[in-house]
Structure 1
């Protein structure tokens, strides 16, 4: 089984992505860090139910990676927006064996004492125009959500809109069951809604 873990909001710069999230949610993000291999960096927001949100962008101070960046960030342009949702699993290899090769191959990553494996396609682009979830396996008990301040924010729904949304939903159905996730036919877009201390909020 796979479990909804976190979402990613991308921007052309980290400042732009962070500002976009803070304006929508009405709460500040916390400092994140830098990612080796893909040379990106992020800021973070703790969400209830062992989840979190990351604002992410290419790190201009880092060298060029020797492969395509995750979350299709090499092709990102325009206003900050919700670009990806990420699901965790206990055995990444076994989970990938049940899915098309387009979901990617495992990449070993670390930051500080955090260790994880992420399935990343060679071209950086996830299936269904990046509307399919990225898959992650956390190694050990360390997880960002347990280290982030809780500010009363909870994700209530994630709408995954795509022309082939029913096919994506059917592909994932044997692996996950989450009433918050809705698959809707339409132009590719992710939209998340939240409860916050300032009332309902939406990110798309």
Structure 2
């Protein structure tokens, strides 16, 4: 099975704020998920398809900071300030059964396959040493679940369904070439922007109230 979209990540300064944002944007309640002790974060989770879900993530105030940078750039002061002002679509994650092979052949720096566990769930996740938000969230993280059945199947179903991902980027050829190196070029629609414009994401979700769009903050992108 090839690379596919696994989940969308909404960042928030805290989970109350993040859950309220999902309620405002999608009109549904997203239940609590759990804590990532190794990363010092916790989340809310909701399925968007049979093997695809939405995650709201924030720093966990009940845990000591980890001895390494947190994922998704959550230790970056610029990212923190942006999320403090308002939650937003922060990044996306693709799923593979061959994470080490993908990390070896990619044209980008997606980090090292790191084993992470939460309860009965176990997974390998591509983590950069500095915890940076990959290309400001425009490039996906890579996950390789070590489970028999995708966790989305056990998540709450609020009647929302993922419809597609659009990436607006000033250097579309650069972005497309890196996505192609991990088999993800056909997973998102890439739209060109004028040079030096601020890249952003849009995720299209069908909800019980009709189609909705989740957007990222512009201005978190860099060329790494």
- If the TM-score is normalised by the length of the shorter chain, which range does it land in? over 0.9
Deviation at 1:173, TM superposition (A): 2.4
CA distance in 2, matches of 1:149, 1:57: 19
Deviation at 1:193, TM superposition (A): 1.1
Change (3 A) 1:174 1:104: closer
Task: Please say which of residues 176-185 and 47-56 is displaced more in the overlay.
Answer: 176-185
Deviation at 1:179, TM superposition (A): 5.3
Q: Which residue of 2 aligns with 1:131?
A: 138
Which consecutive residues of structure 2, in runs of 5 or more, have no partner in the other structure? 216-224
**Residues 155 and 193 in structure 1, CA contact (< 8 A), matched pair in contact too:** yes
In the alignment, does 2:191 pair up with 1:184?
A: yes
Deviation at 1:92, TM superposition (A): 0.8
Which consecutive residues of structure 1, in runs of 5 or more, have no partner in the other structure? none
Q: Which residue of 2 aligns with 1:64?
A: 65
Change (3 A) 1:132 1:180: closer
Q: Which residue of 2 aligns with 1:162?
A: 169
TM-score, normalising length: structure 1? 0.93
Aligned residues between the structures? 204
**Residues 126 and 133 in structure 1, CA contact (< 8 A), matched pair in contact too:** no
RMSD of aligned alpha carbons: 1.7
Q: Which residue of 2 aligns with 1:121?
A: 128
CA distance in 1, matches of 2:147, 2:41: 23
Q: Which residue of 2 aligns with 1:102?
A: 109
Secondary structure of the structure 2 residue equivalent to 1:166: helix
Deviations 1:15-68 (A, max 9, x none): 111111121111111110000211100001111242100000000111011111
In the alignment, does 2:56 pair up with 1:45?
A: no
TM-score, normalising length: structure 2? 0.85
CA distance in 2, matches of 1:95, 1:79: 34
**Residues 6 and 85 in structure 1, CA contact (< 8 A), matched pair in contact too:** yes
Secondary structure of the structure 2 residue equivalent to 1:68: coil
Q: Which residue of 2 aligns with 1:197?
A: 208
Counterpart pick for 2:158 among 141, 148, 151: 151
Q: Which residue of 2 aligns with 1:30?
A: 31
**Residues 8 and 53 in structure 2, CA contact (< 8 A), matched pair in contact too:** yes
Deviation at 1:177, TM superposition (A): 5.5
Q: Which runs of 4+ in 1 moved over 4 A?
A: 177-180
